């Protein structure tokens, strides 16, 4: 790897922090692309590592009330533990009604972080007129669709996020300063010999996994 492609870790950051800076830098890039301002109300639909990265970086940027959905209850537990205003499982409750009752003026920005059509539909119903929907999740489908009447009437802005661009160093700086504390993202740890077990766990979403860390040392 060429030296100019590498980022040195500050003395108070571990190799594990360095690994976590990758998803966090995507979250930070999404937040910056959204134009988030202090106090804005946001939604995060899908609370895997990327959704959590959006949450942590948005809070570092001063986001206000934050509403989180996921289909895995252990991930919603983590969202509540990290300070989410309200959470909901779309398989078990009407999250649109629940969040809109809590925020009648609706949300300034909604981050779609799971690549699910249902989540995009919910985002359209949750974002305020003139608001933004950030499409961060990687969809398994070839085409998105949305209610054209709602999209037009609400003048919704849709912004796609591919990965990150120029946010790694800022992410490391935020971590070093303590403004982002991502330790709770790691829910499981494995040795190098247990790599297959780690990938099987994550691919099958077992045991409440958020992120599994493999120690190659």
> For the chain, how many structural domains are there in total?
2
Task: Report residue 209 as tokens.
Answer: 């996994």
Task: Report residue 171 as tokens.
Answer: 């992410």
Same domain, 38 and 122: yes
Count of C-beta atoms within a 10 Å radius of residue 14? 11
Contact, 159 vs 34, CB < 8 A? yes
Same domain, 135 and 210: no
Same domain, 139 and 194: no
Same domain, 74 and 128: yes
Show which of 114, 129, 160 is a domain's final residue: 160
Average pLDDT, integer, range 95-103: 98
The pLDDT value recorded for residue 156 is: 97
pTM value surpassing 0.85: yes
Asked whether the predicted pLDDT for residue 5 surpasses 90, the reply is no
Same domain, 151 and 210: no
């Amino acid at each position: 790897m060429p030296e100019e492609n590498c980022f040195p870790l500050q003395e108070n950051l571990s190799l594990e922090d360095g690994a976590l800076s990758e998803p966090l830098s995507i979250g930070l890039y999404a937040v910056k692309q959204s134009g988030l301002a202090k106090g804005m109300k946001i939604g995060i639909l899908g609370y895997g590592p990327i959704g959590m990265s959006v949450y942590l970086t948005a809070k570092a940027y001063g986001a206000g009330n934050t509403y989180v959905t996921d289909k895995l209850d252990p991930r919603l537990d983590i969202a509540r533990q990290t300070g989410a205003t309200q959470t909901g499982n779309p398989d078990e409750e009407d999250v649109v009604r629940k969040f809109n009752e809590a925020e009648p003026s609706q949300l300034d920005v909604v981050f779609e972080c799971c690549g699910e059509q249902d989540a995009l539909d919910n985002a359209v119903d949750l974002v305020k007129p003139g608001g933004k929907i950030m499409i961060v999740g990687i969809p398994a489908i070839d085409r998105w669709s949305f209610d054209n009447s709602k999209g037009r009437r609400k003048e919704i802005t849709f912004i796609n996020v591919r990965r990150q661009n120029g946010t790694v160093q800022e992410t490391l700086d935020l971590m070093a300063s303590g403004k982002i504390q991502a330790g709770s993202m790691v829910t499981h740890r494995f040795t190098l010999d247990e790599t297959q077990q780690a990938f099987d766990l994550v691919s099958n979403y077992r045991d409440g996994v958020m992120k599994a860390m493999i120690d190659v040392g």
